[in-house]
Structure 1
Amino acid sequence: MISVRSVVDRVGPTLLRAVRLPADCPAVSDVVIAEPGTSQLAAGDLVLGVAAGDVNASVELVRACARKGAAAVLLKPPQASEPAVRRAADAAGTGLVEVHAATSWAQLVWLLRTVLDAIADETDALETHDDPAASDLFRLADAVASVVDAPVTIEDTNSRVLAYSARQDVTDPARVATIMGRRIPDDVLARFRSRGVFRELSRGRQTIFVPAQHDGTLPRLIVPIRMGGELLGSMWAVVPGPVADERAAAFADTAPVVALHLLRRRAHADMRRRASAELLRALLGGEVSAREAAAELDLEAVPHRVVAVETAGEDPLDGEGLRLALLERLTRGIGRGPVGTQSGGLVYLVVPDGTGRGSWARLRTALAEVPTGRGAGELRAAAGSARELDELARSRAEAEETLGLLRSGVLPGGLACFDEVWPSLVLHRAAGAAGQARVGELGPLPLLCEHDATNGTDFVSTLYEWLRYPGQPRLAAGALAIHPNTLRYRMRRLLELVPLDLDDPDVRLALLSQLVAARWA
């Protein structure tokens, strides 16, 4: 079953915005263009309001679609946001989607049908781990190369090569290095950037010609790949020299077709990512078999750690956007990327223990290098202990407990590992249990607390440090930032106020338990 929501999500917010999507929207079956009052509608249709030029026509179209059981009506602004149209959709229980004003209806029909086909095919593709658009993109690169009569590469917005044509009759070292490394080399990238190529791409130029360079790099004809104003990538053709206007225009005309394939590729990758994330969430919750999940997630049968990452602050990507960006950032450059998911505002990563590529040691280094502070947001990360795959739920609980200590300030810094901070964990757990047992209400401690609050003294802290450093008054005084004589004077005053036998080990242990409970709870 294909839902309207899944279609809107696949196409993306650049082109479509859900105005109203009821929970009981019919499944999508087809895309049609219709006018108000038309009888050529069927249940499950996505109806494009091409001829709905005003509010009244849009209202009539919504009502007609409701009578036929259509899945949703797609309108351009301002009709989609008009109160009368929204009220009609609410009353009829029909989905309402706004189409970006600059979107071509003809392109949208083609795109929506491509997306419907992609969603229908993706389940089988996921089972076989195949990308349904990958081979098509290479064939398309060959077709585009014949149009422009030159070797072609298709690249994403990060200059990574997605596909390239087979013909190699015109080439140079830069193209060879780009194909071998699956991205434009940094030095070549810098030269193109200095010529303003990427600035021109972002401005939406139809074609960009870059002359030959002194290092032997041949001329390039570049076409941006856009859909609905969003830059999806670019096509690069290695040409011997200036290209005739007719051939350059034909090259540019292939961009919308490539854009559809890139959107389909994105939809497939998004679905793969969502499926993996859901499976990992289930594994970390102990809801699925570790053996089955490990096979799907490509986890080796070695001990792994669960790492919980929390982000907050002034970063403009704060929230969901930042967490997605963080996943991308952390899974790049440390070897095989960690398996990751999001849940409850946290990013969870599962990494093998050890020091090899893609391991906890590499991820720890990457986490420590993530910029934080003013304007960059705040990052905290905590790792659970190394566990077998069927115990990852326990490692997750350990990571969350450690993250809680970082969040509360009990542990300093923003990065910690469960099995390295066990003293703090012991004290915190003991404090929690003692707090529930109300041990702080026993003995002379309540009197000392009341005296401090009333007279501004610091007897409770003094007693705490005295007990922590038995027989070491200089260390105890150093922890309080006072002179040792001041420490001794305070202890004499304290013992005058409450008689305590500090020579009794049980008394010392009981007092320390109470003070730990008060400080660590």
Structure 2
Amino acid sequence: MDPADSSAADSPRTALGRIVAAFDGAVVRADPRAAEVRGAIIAEPGDTLADARGALVLAIGARGADAIAVVAAAGKAGAAAVAVKCADSEEGLPELLRAAGEKAGVAVCTVPVATRWHEVEAAVRGAGERGAAGPDTRGDLYSLAQTVATLTHGVVSIEDSAHRVMAYSDSGDEADELRRRSILGRNCPEPYLALLRQWGVYVYRRVRTDELVEVEERPEMGIRRRLVIGINAGPRPLGTIWVQEGGRPLAERSAEAMRGAARLAASQLVDHYYQGDSAARLPSRADLAHGLLTGRFNSGAVAVHLGIAPSAAARVVAVDLREPHADDGDTSGADVRRAEAAEIVSVHAAAYRTNALVAQACGQIYAMLPESPRPDSGRTDSARPDSARPEGGEPDDEPVLRWAGDLVAALRRHTRTPAQAVLAGTAARLDDIPAVKLRGHHALRLLARTPDRAVDTHSRLTAPLMVRDLLELLDKHQEIRHPAVAALAARDAEHGTDLARSLLLYLDAFGDVARVARQLNVHPNTLRYRVRRAAALTGLDLDDPEHRLAAMLQLRLTCTSVGGSPFPAA
């Protein structure tokens, strides 16, 4: 294994002091330029360091003379610093190592014996991310790896086609020896690659498709069970996503999460291969998706850029985490959870529909699911429903509802929020997405009154939405009122009676006296008396449908003003 990793030269600079602070080591700076490093690589006694420019070299298994030799080799290779393990009883930096560092022109730091090398490497990466992260790093590969780890309950790494580790999730104590060596060396070890070939080249042939491949556990080698899926751009393989089973079994829907993550990772690895800037590309794609959702951009131009036919129809699913309002005005926690949720939605959406787009707006998350026209196929596949449209030509809601239900379950489980989702509808063309988005926004507001209902559709909420809009219109026109109904509510407030609410519930229940009496916990005859008394006081003719409608509308507004709800219980 070649311990040098060219990716270290491309990593952001990290102040060595921030790294050392993470593991309480002693540092000597023989050269001021050694104050910053670019990533970490490993070296064992006898290794040849071809190019370690700007890297922190982790001297694994090197003590005494071996450690001094690694320091010298690191200096020749252009390393910025070397980390060596020393016994806890040794105070400060041993004199021989100090002298070797000064001679080689590198900084030397000690690491406590009990510290694991992968923890040191994680400290390097963590310090680099804190020092170099831009305003929006949610979409990078590390964030994606962590999201997959959350959804699968596994330990995740993302590799390019040369088996170099591009990103990985936090693993704690669940990583096996293979993962630790892969992360520290930034490459899958060659002996393991040879074993994969020995076990069957079919593994890598299969990961060039959208197929999930299982690699069995090898306890005698310290290797746990793994799942792997390919990251591909058309026929070209770009890399792989590996999920190692940790301290608990992998989640049941791990395959869907990995499939979605592989599709999301493809564009970033395309940038990697062609020297692009994936950090700039992802915010751009997110911004384009937001522009498509809100109508800020020309949909035709955006569609071409995103690889979607401008004439394609698209389903829109609106999601709300139902975050409580912060009393102190600090919304940072909610922002973090919404960012995590957007990643989860993106992975689920990409698994469900190849060209899915996800954007945030109005404190909510929207998934846009373009439909690929397939005139020669009427097949509907619930697992891969890119063509979910029945013979009548109208989209079938059931596959999308099942997907949305699974998504909400995942969000509730991982974000600990009472999330809800609404199938807002289908935009016949991408131009229509903003209007459908608005329907989803309104439907989510209405769905909030039934928190136990995880998912619904705008079409099923049409009637209550219509009533709500009509009530809002009436509320703005105080001149449109029935004076006698208003007087009835005022009388209740003055005398402590309940005639107005009893009449409203009676009308809502279509005259079902027994049901309303149970709801009010009164005798049916008491309810009948209240209804007759209310009709007498107001002059309402309850046999007249117009009288009943006028009474219901105004009583909805009146009961709302005294603490009730303008809607009946759903």
TM-score by length of 2: 0.48
Cα contact 2:421–2:454 (8 A) shared by 1: yes
> What does 1:214-363 align with in structure 2 at a 5 Å threshold?
268-300=277-309, 301-312=311-322, 319-331=337-349, 333-336=351-354, 338-352=356-370, 356=381, 357-358=384-385, 361-363=398-400
Cα contact 2:316–2:423 (8 A) shared by 1: yes
- Partner of 1:385, secondary structure, is strand
Structure 2: tracts of 5 or more residues without a match: 1-10, 19-31, 36-53, 57-118, 135-158, 165-177, 227-239, 245-268, 325-332, 373-379, 387-396, 559-564
**Matching of residue 368 in structure 1 with residue 405 in structure 2:** yes
Cα shift at 1:423: 0.3
**Matching of residue 420 in structure 1 with residue 460 in structure 2:** yes
Cα 1:170/1:498, change in 2 over 3 Å: closer
Cα shift at 1:269: 4.5
Cα shift at 1:365: 1.5
Distance 1:454 1:292 in 2: 63
Distance 1:12 1:426 in 2: 58
What whole-Å deviation, never above 9, does each CA across 1:438-487 have from its counterpart, x for those lacking one?
A: 26864122332233334443212221133335565446546656553232
Distance 1:473 1:431 in 2: 26
Cα contact 1:463–1:491 (8 A) shared by 2: yes
Cα 1:283/1:328, change in 2 over 3 Å: closer
Cα shift at 1:271: 3.5
- Partner of 2:312, secondary structure, is coil
Cα contact 1:334–1:363 (8 A) shared by 2: no
Identity %: 19
Cα contact 2:206–2:213 (8 A) shared by 1: no
Residue 146 of structure 1 is matched in structure 2 by none
Residue 7 of structure 1 is matched in structure 2 by none
Cα 1:188/1:393, change in 2 over 3 Å: same
Cα contact 1:312–1:319 (8 A) shared by 2: no
Cα 1:263/1:105, change in 2 over 3 Å: farther
Cα 1:139/1:451, change in 2 over 3 Å: same
Cα 1:280/1:430, change in 2 over 3 Å: same
Cα shift at 1:344: 3.9
> What does 1:186-225 align with in structure 2 at a 5 Å threshold?
188-189=215-216, 191-192=217-218, 195=219, 210=221
Cα 1:318/1:212, change in 2 over 3 Å: closer
Residue 434 of structure 2 is matched in structure 1 by 393
Cα shift at 1:364: 2.6
**Matching of residue 180 in structure 1 with residue 180 in structure 2:** no
Distance 1:12 1:393 in 2: 42
* Amino acid in structure 2 at the alignment position of 1:322: E
**Matching of residue 486 in structure 1 with residue 497 in structure 2:** no
Cα 1:137/1:163, change in 2 over 3 Å: farther
Cα 1:481/1:375, change in 2 over 3 Å: farther
* Amino acid in structure 2 at the alignment position of 1:210: M
Q: Identify the range of structure 1 (344-353 vs 265-274) with the bigger mean alpha-carbon deviation.
A: 265-274
**Matching of residue 514 in structure 1 with residue 554 in structure 2:** yes
**Matching of residue 443 in structure 1 with residue 469 in structure 2:** no
Cα 1:507/1:411, change in 2 over 3 Å: farther
Cα 1:339/1:446, change in 2 over 3 Å: same
Cα 1:401/1:514, change in 2 over 3 Å: same
Distance 1:457 1:14 in 2: 73
Residue 497 of structure 2 is matched in structure 1 by 457
Cα contact 1:384–1:417 (8 A) shared by 2: yes
Distance 2:439 2:339 in 1: 26
RMSD: 5.7
Distance 2:523 2:477 in 1: 36
Distance 1:162 1:364 in 2: 40
Distance 2:480 2:285 in 1: 48
Structure 1: tracts of 5 or more residues without a match: 1-9, 18-31, 36-47, 51-100, 117-135, 142-151, 196-208, 218-231, 237-260
Cα shift at 1:323: 1.9
Cα 1:463/1:411, change in 2 over 3 Å: farther
* Amino acid in structure 2 at the alignment position of 1:311: L
Distance 1:513 1:490 in 2: 19
What whole-Å deviation, never above 9, does each CA across 1:19-75 have from its counterpart, x for those lacking one?
A: xxxxxxxxxxxxx9499xxxxxxxxxxxx9x9xxxxxxxxxxxxxxxxxxxxxxxxx
Cα shift at 1:375: 7.8
- Partner of 2:321, secondary structure, is strand
Cα shift at 1:351: 1.3
Cα shift at 1:353: 6.2
Cα 1:350/1:453, change in 2 over 3 Å: same
* Amino acid in structure 2 at the alignment position of 1:347: I
Cα 1:210/1:379, change in 2 over 3 Å: same
Cα contact 2:182–2:189 (8 A) shared by 1: no
Distance 1:487 1:400 in 2: 39
Cα 1:280/1:373, change in 2 over 3 Å: closer
Paired residue total: 348
- Partner of 2:365, secondary structure, is strand
Cα 1:498/1:312, change in 2 over 3 Å: closer
Distance 1:392 1:325 in 2: 21
What whole-Å deviation, never above 9, does each CA across 1:252-305 have from its counterpart, x for those lacking one?
A: xxxxxxxxx999689955443322110111111212222111222233433212
Cα contact 2:535–2:542 (8 A) shared by 1: no
Distance 1:493 1:107 in 2: 75
Cα 1:490/1:438, change in 2 over 3 Å: same
Distance 1:235 1:308 in 2: 30
Distance 1:353 1:474 in 2: 49
Residue 405 of structure 1 is matched in structure 2 by 446
Cα shift at 1:383: 2.4
What whole-Å deviation, never above 9, does each CA across 1:215-260 have from its counterpart, x for those lacking one?
A: 9x9xxxxxxxxxxxxxx99899xxxxxxxxxxxxxxxxxxxxxxxx
> What does 1:13-24 align with in structure 2 at a 5 Å threshold?
none
Distance 2:413 2:214 in 1: 31
TM-score by length of 1: 0.52
Cα 1:347/1:102, change in 2 over 3 Å: same
Cα 1:162/1:326, change in 2 over 3 Å: farther
Cα shift at 1:180: 1.3
Cα contact 1:448–1:460 (8 A) shared by 2: yes
Distance 2:479 2:339 in 1: 45
Residue 59 of structure 1 is matched in structure 2 by none
Distance 1:412 1:104 in 2: 41
Cα shift at 1:378: 1.4
Distance 2:15 2:366 in 1: 28
Residue 70 of structure 1 is matched in structure 2 by none
